[in-house]
Amino acid sequence: MYRPAWGGLLGGRKAVWPALSGSVSAGSGRRGAAAGEKTVITEKHGTILTVGINRPEARNAVNQETAAQLLEAFTSFEEDDSVSAAVLYGIGGNFCAGYDLKEVAHNAAVIKLEQDVTKGPGPMGPSRMQFSKPVIAAVSGYAVAGGLELSLLADLRVMEQSAVMGVFCRRFGVPLIDGGTVRLPKLIGLSRALDLILTGRPIGAKEASEFGLANRVVPDGQALQSAMELAQQISAFPQLCLRADRASAYHSAFDASSFVDALQFETDHGKLVLMEESISGAKKFSAGTGRHGKL
């Protein structure tokens, strides 16, 4: 059975991150994946996992094989206790242009949609997953249609100044079935979400930041670097506490039946942290570490 994952709670200095596998860095040229080459590239950098969509010749549109590889990559991320955060990005200048409609046009049979969302992945791969650890999206170029939905899977989005988001599938009669209508209203509010969903208009980095859709806006070519620095910062914190608070926030936003239910969830999960991490943290504070907001 397919098991969504964010219910599983318990499972520093700036770094200059090396280019990922040479020619597959986020800003590299539009080289397509060669025959037999993986269309999803994963690499571990300490406690950070990078997941790169490698179909630049198609603006990183996701086909059936790429969706399967993305699902495999994020399933491994969720199960790997040595990894604290993941960064999702697109190779070759674009984050993701959605599902590959050319593949659909030539073979409609590739659309295999599991009707029970608890028993199978979404068309884009991991879009129905719920993680117990943070994911950051490094957005360059186009993040549209299903690509926008993939970015919404992340906790945070680092967006380059010239990047564009939007529900571009509106003009082709392709619905949002990878969590877009669920996550987007929660992130930016129903009115703003409907503006994007109904019109299919593009939204740039400035407006995305004003909406709360982009958490950071950075110069072109720097989204991956900035996202990895942010992931490193998050990974340096005590992880049990961080994941407990993260899980409580998601429960409150999506699953809580009432205010009291949300408070109870927060208390129950917070109690698990107190003896594990809070006492040692209090001792660090008493010794002078981390005061005045210093990390």
d(CA 18, CA 20): 6
215 and 89: one domain?
yes
Q: Evaluate if residue 30 carries a pLDDT over 60.
A: no
Is residue 13 situated within a structural domain?
Answer: no
Share of the chain above pLDDT 70, in %: 79
Phi-psi region at 141: left, alpha or beta (left = phi > 0; alpha = psi -120 to 50)? left
230 and 247: one domain?
no
Which token pair is 258?
């009432």
Q: Give bridge partners of residue 278 from the DSSP assignment.
A: none
E-only strand ranges, the chain: 40-45, 48-53, 85-90, 135-139, 142-144, 156-160, 164-166, 203-204, 216-218
48 and 175: one domain?
yes
Is residue 143 situated within a structural domain?
Answer: yes
Is residue 100 situated within a structural domain?
Answer: yes
Is residue 12 situated within a structural domain?
Answer: no
Rounded to whole angstroms, what are the CA distances from 76 to 43, 72, 279?
12, 6, 32
Q: Which residue has the higher pLDDT, 228 or 100?
A: 228
246 and 225: one domain?
no
Residue/partner pairs of 106-113 with CB below 8 Å, 24 or more apart: 110/63, 110/64, 112/64, 113/177
Nearest residue to 123 via CA among 61, 33, 170: 61
124 and 223: one domain?
yes
Domain end residue (candidates: 235, 265, 285):
235
pLDDT value of residue 283: 57
**pLDDT averaged over the chain?**
84
Average pLDDT estimate for 114-124: 81
Lowest mean pLDDT among 2-6, 31-35, 79-83, 143-147: 2-6
CB 3 within 8 A of CB 11: no
Is residue 17 situated within a structural domain?
Answer: no
Confidence of residue 293 (pLDDT cuts 50, 70, 90): low
Is residue 2 situated within a structural domain?
Answer: no
37 and 183: one domain?
yes
Torsion, Cα 152 120 78 159, to 10 degrees, reads -20
139 and 273: one domain?
no
> Residue 177: which domain range?
22-235
Q: Evaluate if residue 287 carries a pLDDT over 70.
A: no
pLDDT value of residue 273: 83
Q: What is the pTM of this model?
A: 0.83
Domain end residue (candidates: 195, 210, 235):
235
pLDDT value of residue 119: 74
pLDDT value of residue 15: 36
170 and 60: one domain?
yes
pLDDT in tens, 47-58: 999 999 999 999
CB 243 within 8 A of CB 237: no
Q: Evaluate if residue 243 carries a pLDDT over 80.
A: yes
pLDDT value of residue 284: 58
268 and 153: one domain?
no
31 and 119: one domain?
yes
Average pLDDT estimate for 181-205: 96
pLDDT value of residue 18: 35
Is residue 10 situated within a structural domain?
Answer: no
Backbone angles phi, psi at 30, to 5 degrees: -85, 55
Is residue 70 situated within a structural domain?
Answer: yes
pLDDT value of residue 24: 36
CATH number at residue 121: 3.90.226.10
pLDDT value of residue 291: 59
Domain end residue (candidates: 220, 235, 250):
235
Confidence of residue 103 (pLDDT cuts 50, 70, 90): confident
pLDDT value of residue 33: 57
The tally of domains found in the chain comes to 2
225 and 244: one domain?
no
180 and 259: one domain?
no
